[in-house]
């Protein structure tokens, strides 16, 4: 499937200092290159020096004269995080941007960090929390913007409060999903650096030695969080009985049946975003937008993060296949996942995950879901 390149305007970042974790390849390398091309001084903390040097060479190839340097960082070690924090604090230079991009995804067997935490929990979440808190004086001095990379996986599953470290029973995808839910909760906190209550509770339970946290100001901060702007698609196939396109996550039945939905990228209008989500999550290239049907303000069911979702009615031709599997390629947040796509007749017999079916009746009153009580 061809991927669309989206050109995003970046302001002049001269005299700005940026730190990008996971910047030696993939999305992180792209972000670091774009920041450097805009004039920022870019610091790449890396675990693998050889990959880091290759990344620096690539950035300078694409952005001649780029000001980019390497630092050592292993996010799976709180001692390494502390060492990076100490090195940057010793330099005493304000930071203006911090991009928490590095991460680990779905190791097949349970692994642990140097400090004994499940690898994804310890790296994706705790490592970045520790880094932000270590760098807090520099971030405040630079009035920094802190951005954390999450994933569509944060919309699925929930935090395993009874076994945060996955010691009793390990599932790689659920552990990854949990780490991204925790990351999204921390991202809610970063604008005011008062911690979201979800993050406070996670840190209270595990008390990683490299982190500290305070619950002060969390209620006010939660109230000021800007909603995440999202889109959702009802792709309708015209048959004798109309049908809606849905998908299930192969290997994660507990995620439930869903319609294509996700966040709007910078520079996208809503119609562009909904067509992209349909293509990325199902592979369907021929859907067309009919109209916008509803706007829903509803918090994330696991994190409480505010969300504003615009629902669209789209059309699929009658010749569209009944069912297929779609494997997501590329380096986006869904990369490597496989979805089982199919059309279901309307009205649906059961609600969709997260009550995504709630607005079908706005297209046709007869399509309102009436769940059958099995008891």
For the annotated catalytic residues, the residue numbers are: 176
Quote the distance between the C-alpha of residue 362 and its chain's center: 29
- My answer on whether omega of the bond before 347 falls inside 30° of 0, hence cis, is yes
Pull the structure tokens for residue 153: 């996986």
- Can you tell me the distance from the alpha carbon of 273 to that of 280, in angstroms, rounded to the nearest whole number? 10
Strand positions, DSSP E, the chain:
17-20, 41-46, 68-72, 97-100, 145-148, 228-237, 243-249, 261-263, 288-297, 307-316, 323-327, 338-345
- Can you tell me the distance from the alpha carbon of 32 to that of 99, in angstroms, rounded to the nearest whole number? 9
DSSP SS3 for 373: coil
Strand (E) or helix (H) holding 136: helix 136-141
CA distances from 192 to 20, 139, 251, 272, 306 (A): 20, 11, 37, 31, 16
What DSSP designation does 201 have?
A: H
Strand partners, 310: 231, 295
Quote the distance between the C-alpha of residue 68 and its chain's center: 26
């Amino acid at each position: 499937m061809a991927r669309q390149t989206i050109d995003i305007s970046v302001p002049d970042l001269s005299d700005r200092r940026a730190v990008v974790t996971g910047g030696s390849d993939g999305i992180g390398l792209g972000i670091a290159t774009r920041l450097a091309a805009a004039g920022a001084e870019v610091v790449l903390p890396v675990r693998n020096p050889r990959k880091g040097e290759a990344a620096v060479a690539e950035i300078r190839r694409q952005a001649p004269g780029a000001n980019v340097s390497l630092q050592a960082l292993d996010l799976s070690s709180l001692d390494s995080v502390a060492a990076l924090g100490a090195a940057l604090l010793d330099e005493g230079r304000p930071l203006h941007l911090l991009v928490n991009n590095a991460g680990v995804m779905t190791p097949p067997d349970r692994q642990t960090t140097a400090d004994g935490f499940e690898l994804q929990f310890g790296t994706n979440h705790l490592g970045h929390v520790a880094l932000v808190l270590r760098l807090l004086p520099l971030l405040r001095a630079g009035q920094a913007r802190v951005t954390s990379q999450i994933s569509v996986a944060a919309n699925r599953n929930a935090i395993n409060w009874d076994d945060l470290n996955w010691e009793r029973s390990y599932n790689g995808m659920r552990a990854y999903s949990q780490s991204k839910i925790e990351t999204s909760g921390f991202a809610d906190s970063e604008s005011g650096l008062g911690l979201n209550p979800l993050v406070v509770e996670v840190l209270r339970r595990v008390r990683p030695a490299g982190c500290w946290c305070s619950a002060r100001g969390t209620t006010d901060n939660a109230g000021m969080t800007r909603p995440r702007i999202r889109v959702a698609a009802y792709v309708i196939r015209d048959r004798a009985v109309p049908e809606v396109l849905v998908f299930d996550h192969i290997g994660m039945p507990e995620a439930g049946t869903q319609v294509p939905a996700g966040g709007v990228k910078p520079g996208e209008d809503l119609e562009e975003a909904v067509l992209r989500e349909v293509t990325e999550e199902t592979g369907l290239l021929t859907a067309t937008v009919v109209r916008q049907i509803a706007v829903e303000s509803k918090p994330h069911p696991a994190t409480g993060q505010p969300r504003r979702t615009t629902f669209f009615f789209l059309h699929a031709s009658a010749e569209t296949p009944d069912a297929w599997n779609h494997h997501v390629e590329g380096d986006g947040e869904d990369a490597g996942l496989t979805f089982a796509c199919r059309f279901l007749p309307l009205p649906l017999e059961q609600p969709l995950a997260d009550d995504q079916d709630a607005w079908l009746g706005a297209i046709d009153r007869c399509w309102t879901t009436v769940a059958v009580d099995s008891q």
